[in-house]
Amino acid sequence: MIKILVTGGNGQLASCIKDLEKLYNKLKFIYTDYQELDITDLESVDTFFKNNSFDYCINCAAYTAVDKAESEIKIAFDVNEIGAKNLAIVCKDFHATLMHVSTDFVFDGRKSSFYKEEDFVNPISVYGQSKLKGELQISKSLSNHFIFRTSWLYSEHGNNFMKTMMRLSKEKDELSVVVDQIGTPTYAKDLAQLILQLISTKNTQYGLYHYSNEGVASWYDFAKAIFEEIDAEIKLSPIKTTEYPTPAKRPAFSVLDKSKIKRTFQLEIPHWRDSLRKALLNYNG
C-alpha cells in the first residue's frame, strides 16, 4: 500500500483526487487542511511525518487569491514559498516524493509562442513571485520531486471561473469578460488523474513539467464556451484588461508548451472544450 499525504485537502484539486480515489485501491490517502497541518511550521510538518509514514506528499495547499496577495504579501510567501520549502525538507528526511503544483503566473506573458519549462521566468504579481520561490525552494532541497506548472484550473469543486460564470448566468442578462488575456483552461480532475497515475506506477522521472489541457483561449472564449454548453441566454461582451483593472497584473499570454510531459509519459491530453463538457456534466449530475 502506497501512503500519500494530500495537503490543502479541502481545495478543488484535492477534492478531484478524492473523486478518483476509488480507481486506485493500492493507494491510501490522508487529507489535511491548515487546521490539521500548518505547512508554514517546519516542526509541525516534521512531527506529522514522524507520526505517519508517507511515501508521497501531494502539495495542493496554496495561497491562490491573486489580487489579495498584493496586500497580503507575507501570507502568500509563507504558504507558497515557506510551506513548499518545509514539505521538501521533511520529504527528504523521510525519503518521500513531493508532487507540487505551480502556475503559469511565473511568466510575464510577453512571449508570443508557447512557454517551455526552461523559458525565462519573470512573475509580475506577488502570487506569481511566491509560487516561483516555492519552486526554487523545492528544487534546492529535494531531488525526488515533480513540479507541475498549470493554468486556469477549474472543476465542479471549490471557487473557480466555471462556477462563477454558471452563477452569473442565472443572475445577469449581460456580462463583460476580458478578451486579451490568453491561456488554457485546465480541468483539475485531468491534472489529478495524471498525478495519481504517476504515483501508482511509481514513476521516477522527476523534474519540472508543464501541464494544461490542449488548446488556446481567452477568458472571453472560456465564458462563451460555458454559456454555450449550458444554453445560457446571456449577452456576452469582450473587454480589454485596461477596462477591468485589478490589483494584480496578469500575464497577457501564458499558454504552456506540453511537449516535455507528453513525450516523457506518453501522455494524451484532452482539449479544454472536451474537458469542460465533462466538468459540467459532473457538476450537474
The residue length of the chain stands at 285
Closest CA to 99 of 199, 31, 24: 199
For the chain, first and last CA: distance in Å? 32
What phi and psi values does residue 105 have, to the nearest 5 degrees?
A: -75, 0
Question: Concatenated DSSP letters for 93-137?
Answer: HTT-EEEEEEEGGGS-S--SSPBPTTSPP---SHHHHHHHHHHHH
31 catalytically annotated: no
What is the C-alpha separation between 104 and 184, in angstroms, rounded?
10
Which string of b and e fits 216-230 if b means at least 16 CB within 10 Å? ebbbbbbbbbbbebb
Query: Going by C-beta distance under 8 Å and a sequence separation of 6 or more, which residues neighbour residue 184?
Result: 151, 152, 212, 213, 214, 215, 216, 217, 255, 256, 272
Beta strands 153-154 and 186-187 are parallel
Looking at 31, 127, 154, 187, which residue is catalytic? 127
Burial class (CB in 10 A: 0-12, 13-18, 19+), 152: buried
- Return d(Cα 256, Cα 132) in angstroms, integer: 15
Query: Of the candidates 127, 34, 121, 122, which has an alpha carbon nearest to the alpha carbon of residue 73?
Result: 127
Active-site residue set: 127
